[in-house]
Amino acid sequence: MVKYFEKIYKGSKNEFHKLVRRNLKNDTKMFIVTANPETLMIAEEDYNFKKALLDNNTTIIADGIGVVKGAKMLSYNIEETIPGIELCSKLFEYCNELKKSIFLLGAKEEIVSKLVNIINSKYPNAIICGYENGYVENKQAVFNKIETLHPDVVLVALGIPQQELLIYNNLDKFDKGIFVGVGGSFDVLSGVKKRAPKLFRKFNLEWLYRIVKEPARFRRFFNSNIKYILKIRRIKNVKGKNNKI
């Protein structure tokens, strides 16, 4: 667990967005994982996912407040959260400004096609070089197609850990591209689902809004977050004891 906190990007959201813009402009390949406590708990139980997260070429950012707070309990200072959904919007903006191309993979057909229309009208200089919904059977075949298109940005919205594993297993085939697993971002950016109101975001309660709106998430959220808190407390206790010796 500590290894993830050591690795997670510590700077501000603004600095990170600038770094991504620079890499996009210079064709520097980047794989970004937007982590919440559930991400880290899945990685603890899934060797391949853990390997993907801890790879030197992977950048992890704190998507949710639980990651910032957990890190703080173990004396790692992460300045603030960098929500994946905001990174996604920034990438559209940068692609528009720099005339770069995007491939979108994930979400239902009506959602991803709606998002493509929104990008085309709001960011006319961004080039959508292709898109595919996330319910096609052979997602590897989609990635084989993406490889031939050489996109500057590849956004994959399939949920964790499928989206990250698919990117990680194909990453070596690409010599440029900003690759991000963006979870439910297409649902929100297409306008089909609403993001938590500002007040919830201000008090770091976006997670609560999502549970209220989608109660089916509760069990998943509760299990992973309770395990996460217990794990961090255990590490903190061990650290405390070691410091006393």
| Residue 110 beta carbon to ligand UDP: minimum distance, rounded to whole angstroms | 11
Q: Can you tell me which of 19, 159, 200, 209 binds ligand UDP, judged by CB under 6 A?
A: 159
Q: Which residue is nearest to ligand UDP (CB)?
A: 134
Closest to ligand UDP by CB, 95 or 157: 157
| Residue 75 beta carbon to ligand UDP: minimum distance, rounded to whole angstroms | 28
Q: Can you tell me which of 43, 127, 158, 166 binds ligand UDP, judged by CB under 6 A?
A: 158
On whether the CB atoms of residues 183 and 86 are closer than 8 A, the answer is no
Question: How close are the terminal C-alpha atoms of the chain, in Å?
Answer: 22
Closest to ligand UDP by CB, 107 or 119: 107
Task: Decide: is 130 part of the binding site for ligand UDP (CB under 6 A).
Answer: no
Q: Of 186, 26, 156, which Cα lies nearest the Cα of 100? A: 26
Strand partners, 106: 157
Residue 4's alpha-carbon distances to 36, 121, 153, 221, in angstroms, are 11, 39, 25, 20
Tokens of 43: 């990685």
Residue partners of 240: CB distance under 8 A and separation at least 6: none
Q: Can you tell me which of 24, 43, 53, 157 binds ligand UDP, judged by CB under 6 A?
A: 157
Q: Of 4, 59, 52, 6, which Cα lies nearest the Cα of 29? A: 59
Strand partners, 154: 103, 179
- Measured N-to-C along each axis, helices 47-54 and 162-170 cross at an angle, to the nearest 10 degrees, of 60
Q: Can you tell me which of 168, 186, 221, 228 binds ligand UDP, judged by CB under 6 A?
A: 186
Task: Decide: is 160 part of the binding site for ligand UDP (CB under 6 A).
Answer: yes
Question: How many C-beta atoms surround the C-beta of residue 35 within 10 A?
Answer: 27
On whether the CB atoms of residues 155 and 105 are closer than 8 A, the answer is yes
Q: Can you tell me which of 66, 70, 177, 183 binds ligand UDP, judged by CB under 6 A?
A: 183
| Residue 228 beta carbon to ligand UDP: minimum distance, rounded to whole angstroms | 15
Q: Can you tell me which of 37, 130, 134, 151 binds ligand UDP, judged by CB under 6 A?
A: 134
Residues 61-120 that bind ligand UDP (CB under 6 A): 106-108
Closest to ligand UDP by CB, 98 or 136: 136
| Residue 77 beta carbon to ligand UDP: minimum distance, rounded to whole angstroms | 25
Q: Which residues here bind ligand UDP, judged by CB under 6 A? A: 106-108, 134-135, 157-160, 183-184, 186-187
